[in-house]
Structures are given as structure tokens and as C-alpha cells.
Amino acid sequence: MKRSIIWIILLVLLALTVWKLASNKSVQEERVYRHDRNAAVHVTVDTVRQQAFTEGVRYTGTISSLLEGRVMTEVPGRVVHVAVAEGQWVEKGQVMVKLDGDMLRLQMEAAQVQVEGLEKDQQRYGILTEADAVQGVQLEKTDLALRGARIQLNTLKEQVQRTTITAPFSGYVTQLGVEVGTVLNPSMPVAMLTNDRALELVVSVPGPELNAFRKGQTVQVVLESGEGQVAATVESVGSRGDMAHNFPVRITLKSDADHGVKPGMAATVRSIPTDAKAWPTIPSTAIIGSSLDPEVYVVENGTAKRKRIVTAGRDEGMVAVSEGLTPGETVITSGFISLADGVPVKFR
């Protein structure tokens, strides 16, 4: 009897537990937000306009040095003297770092002794060979050994010379990676040299705008730091584009102390248009995806439609479009979070 009562109580408790869990699940499901796929997404839009960049298009890039590189060690050794410091100007051939070359010098002395001994053997065997006292093969072997010893001696002399590391070109020491006591192996970097007296700015220009630049053309480079404009010259116009159909245009400029032009600075250059061709133009905020594959959302019949486009240039937050859009179309400029192809949209 008692067992029956216990089982009944357990069953009742189990039933109450199941009921409570089911009740809690229904409450949680009611609290969970479910996006209504048929509900319109609120977005901001703009109209595609036909516009010509009559003052040219601005292109942005980073100024870099035409002559910059790492100074590497060519022989192993321990640093015994550092003759330069970061920020210091060095001339080509100036000593920068010296390595401990004692072991190499001892090897060079041993090679010198070997060469001197073989030279004496060569003289002796030469006399004996003329007198038919020894076979000529002995003289030939000595000649070959002497040639090998001389090559070894010259190699060691070259290695000893390379324990003194000099500047390969004139420039500023922008990085110094060693100090006295540092142990170096071949091809390890010692310092970074940068010559800021010859600079370049490389910008990517879309194909349709490429004819606005030509080799030898004088352009004005505007520094993003607001220090003014610097006259520059178009050095080359790329003959091969990248996957985004942009071509590199290299512009050279000289270091200007008045404007403080330095490698690493951001700068812009404005193209000089040969004509005032008008393009369908949209705000840059309308573009989604990467620069290699730009896309936009347009509004068609109250729904969003994703389109691929080809850009022709950018300026002042506006983008010229050469393919994919026509003037009068409506593009979405914000509200992309819940947006997808075919989703209904609302806008003012």
C-alpha cells in the first residue's frame, strides 16, 4: 500500500515537472524576436545622377621613398661596434657596424701560410722537373693545390672585409636592429635605410580616367596633413590593370623641407580631365562589397535588388559608375543590416 502511494506521488511530481518545463518553453518562445520576412526594411535612398567631374577626380595614395632598403649582414659574427644611430644621415660607403672578425683573420693567416708553402714547393718541383729528378705530375699537383689555396685566401679576405658593414646608399637610418654584443648570421637585418630626397606617390586610376595622366605631366600633390601642395611629375602610367581594372600611375616628387614631405604620408592628386564626360554618379555610401567587385542595392517595385557595377572614379564622397546603373535609378545608401535581394523596403 505504502509503495503504491509513493509511486503515485512520484508520477504526480513528474507530471508537474513536465508541465512546468513545457510552460516555460512556450513563454520563452513568445519572448524571442522573429523577423517577419514580409515586413519592409526601412532604408535611406538616393537618386543616380548624371554628373561630370569637371575639376578632375582625386586619387589617394601613400608617399614612399624611391630608395629604401634593409642593410643585411653577409657573414656571421658578433657586433663589436655600432657607428650610427636611428635618425642619423649616412653617406654611401660610410661604416655602420663592425663585426668580430678575429676567427676569419686567423683563418686568412693560415691560408696565407699555406699559399707561401705551396709557392716554395712549386719552385722546388720546377727545378727538379727540369733536371728530370721528379715526374712532371708532381709539379702539376702542386700547381693545382696552389691555385685552390689562393682562391681560399681571396675568399677569406673578402669575408674579412665584409665584417665591416657599410651603407649601400645615402639615407637616414630609420631602423637600427643591433647593438654591441648582438650575434648575427648571414642575411640577418642590421638597419633600414631611407633616402627621402627622391619620393614617389603611386595611385590606382580606373581605365576610363587613365587618359587624364601622361608621362612627364606636371601635377599638384596635396598632402593630407594640410601642409599645402607640392609640384610633382608623372613618371609612368601603368600598362597592365589589376582585377578591379585599375592602373598604377607613378608620380615622382622631391623632398620639400617647407612642406615637410616624408615617406609614409598620405597624399592625393587630382586628374586633369581632357574632357568633361558625364557619368552616372552615386554616393560612395551606396557601395557594398570590395573594391574589386563593387555592388549596390537598387529599389525596383518596392523591393531591393542587388546589382554589380563598374566604377570610373571617386571624388568628394561621390563615385562615377561606368557600367551597371543608369541616371534616375534609386540606390540604397543605408539600412543594409537586414537587407537582402528581393526584400521589401520603405523609404522617405
Looking at the domain assignment, is residue 4 inside a domain? no
Q: What is the mean pLDDT of residues 64-80?
A: 91
Query: What H or E segment, with its residue span, contains residue 154?
Result: helix 136-161
Looking at the domain assignment, is residue 34 inside a domain? no
Looking at the domain assignment, is residue 2 inside a domain? no
Distance from C-alpha of 251 to C-alpha of 165, rounded to nearest angstrom: 33
Distance from C-alpha of 284 to C-alpha of 235, rounded to nearest angstrom: 29
Q: Are residues 173 and 268 in the same domain?
A: yes
Average pLDDT, the chain: 84
- Among 162, 190, 211, give the residue marking a domain's end: 162
Q: What is the mean pLDDT of residues 17-38?
A: 64
Looking at the domain assignment, is residue 224 inside a domain? yes
Looking at the domain assignment, is residue 22 inside a domain? no
The CATH number of the domain holding residue 81 is: 2.40.50.100
Q: Are residues 137 and 86 in the same domain?
A: no
Q: Are residues 214 and 320 in the same domain?
A: no
CA neighbor of 198 nearest in space, from 262, 248, 267: 262
Q: What is the mean pLDDT of residues 99-122?
A: 86
**Amino acid type, 115:** V
**Amino acid type, 317:** G
Please give the tally of structural domains in the chain.
Answer: 3
What is the DSSP secondary-structure string of 218-240? EEEEEETTS--EEEEEEEEE-SS
Dihedral (Cα; 58, 62, 65, 66), 10-degree rounding: -50
Q: What is the mean pLDDT of residues 214-235?
A: 84
Looking at the domain assignment, is residue 177 inside a domain? yes
Per-residue model confidence (pLDDT) at position 80: 93
Q: Look up the domain containing 331 and give its range.
A: 41-54+277-346
Distance from C-alpha of 151 to C-alpha of 149, rounded to nearest angstrom: 5
Residue 68 · residue 193 · CB < 8 Å = yes
Q: Which residue has the cell 512520484?
A: 10
Per-residue model confidence (pLDDT) at position 30: 57
Looking at the domain assignment, is residue 282 inside a domain? yes
Distance from C-alpha of 336 to C-alpha of 348, rounded to nearest angstrom: 16
The CATH number of the domain holding residue 334 is: 2.40.420.20
Give the confidence band of 226 by pLDDT, cuts at 50, 70, 90: low
Looking at the domain assignment, is residue 8 inside a domain? no
Query: Each residue of 32-47: pLDDT tens digit?
Result: 545 556 678 889 999 9
**Amino acid type, 113:** V
Q: What is the model's pTM?
A: 0.58
Q: Are residues 66 and 192 in the same domain?
A: yes
Query: What H or E segment, with its residue span, contains residue 326?
Result: none
Copy the grid coordinates of residue 241.
590593370
Phi/psi for 339 (5° steps) reads -90, 145
Q: Are residues 181 and 316 in the same domain?
A: no
- Among 257, 273, 289, give the residue marking a domain's end: 273
Per-residue model confidence (pLDDT) at position 290: 78
**Amino acid type, 158:** E
